[in-house]
Amino acid sequence: MDRTLSQTKHYLALDGLRGVAALAVVCLHATLFFRLGFIPYHAYLAVDFFFMLSGFVIAHAYDRRLAGGLSLGRFLTIRLIRLYPLVLLGIVLGTIALLAATRFTSGLSKAAVLQAAVTNALLLPSPAMLNIRPSAFPTDGPLWSLAFEIWINVLYALCFRFLGVKSLVATLIIGAVLTCWTALTYGGLNDGFVWSDFYLGGARVLFPFVAGVLLSRMMKQREDGTSWSHLAFLPLLVVLVAPRLFGGVYDALAVLVVFPVVLVVAADAPPRARLDAIWRWLGALSYPLYVLHYPFIVVLSNLAHQKHVTGVALDLAAGGTVVFVIVFASLALRLYDIPVRRFLSGGVARRRRGWPGQARP
């Protein structure tokens, strides 16, 4: 395999794109649940862009390590330490909100909530609350995409030695066909998050993830890229906030054509001190914001409607909720996620040092 990327390079502009995409998802949910006039209709495509970024970053970070003997168990441990603490926090927050809702929601039982929480904590979809919510992950809706991301990470590591250019291209073609079929059959790619069509998440994840892996392996590291590459967030933002256009054709073209171009352009962005600070902040915020925003938006929007908030006051309530979840995500990152990941990583390192004959990664 040709692995040309330096393992020391960090793509800060891609971090910025991840943050922009996460903010778009938050705004989509806020406008939907608060029932505002403007909706960034195609912001759900941020999930497909996340999958592509995941493939790119995973290949960049782990291709050489897996080729050098990194075990599947060690790979999964690293990935779960990175992702699972916030997954668990999101489930806890959503479960608390749902348990509180059992007091005044007909048909919602504590047993169903706890069953869904346990199943979702295993990164599996749950039908326990279908009479209340169609979501496959009712405790924290966005976790459906995290489940697919982790599962395809496992497949990447399991099949790594077979992932040459030919096999990746063949898989990419299959993924492109599935993307087009899903988009044209269902009028778009806003699928995979409810129990009834959860399987469509597999169709959504395949092409973008494999495309990200291929792009990562194909790109040459450059230090003299153009500063215009930092503007790659603009076409991404335009795609995500555009009104409903051309049905499934729009979604398919966005994923198959626009997103790969945006990723390549952004990956070529050279260091720029002021911009890099912004991209670094957005990148750090993106994951906790994506995982943790949903329960707050659902609860606070329900409260606003129960209080019959309308007009400008409703717009301000939605905007205030977005600001609140950004602040909460920042605090959760600093006070919870980073310390927990450091603790877990340190524990794993100590155990590995205690195993005789165990080579360090």
Q: Taking every pair of C-alpha atoms in the chain, what is the biggest distance, in angstroms?
A: 67
Please indicate, yes or no, if residue 354 is contained in any of the structural domains: no
5 part of a folded domain: no
CA distance 252 to 148: 19
**Which pLDDT score, from 0 to 100, does residue 353 have?**
60
Give the residue ranges of DSSP H helices in 187-257: 200-218, 233-241, 247-253
Structure token digits, residue 82 = 């990175």
Per-residue tens of pLDDT for the chain, all 361 residues: 333 334 446 789 999 999 999 999 999 999 999 999 999 999 999 999 999 999 999 999 999 999 999 999 999 999 999 999 999 999 999 999 999 999 988 889 999 999 999 999 999 999 999 988 899 999 999 999 999 999 999 999 999 999 999 999 999 999 999 999 999 999 999 999 999 999 999 999 999 999 999 999 988 655 556 888 999 999 999 999 998 878 899 999 999 999 999 999 999 998 888 899 999 999 999 999 999 999 999 999 999 999 999 999 999 999 999 999 999 999 999 999 999 999 999 876 666 665 444 433 3
> H or E element: which one contains 232?
none
Total domains present in the chain = 1
The domain in which residue 192 lies consists of 12-347
The predicted structure's pLDDT at residue 52: 98
Smallest CA-to-CA distance from 144 within 80, 197, 107 is with: 197
Read off the pLDDT of residues 223-258 as tens digits, 9 standing for 90 and up: 556 888 999 999 999 999 998 878 899 999 999 999
Q: How far apart are the first and last CA of the chain?
A: 20
Domain assignment present for residue 355? The answer is: no
Long-range contacts of 278-281, Cβ-Cβ distance < 8 Å, separation of 24 or more = 278/16, 279/12, 279/13, 279/14, 279/15, 279/16, 279/19, 280/12, 280/15, 281/19
Residue 359 is assigned to a structural domain of this protein? no
Domain annotation covers residue 1: no
Angle subtended by helix axes 46-67 and 259-267, to nearest 10: 50
Q: Which pLDDT value is given to residue 143?
A: 97
> Quick one: pLDDT at residue 212?
97
Can you give the pLDDT at residue 6?
40
Residue 280 domain-assigned (yes or no):
yes
DSSP-derived secondary structure letter, 121: H
Does 7 map to a domain? no
Structural domain contains residue 353: no
- Structural Rg of the chain based on CA atoms: 21
pLDDT at res. 358: 41
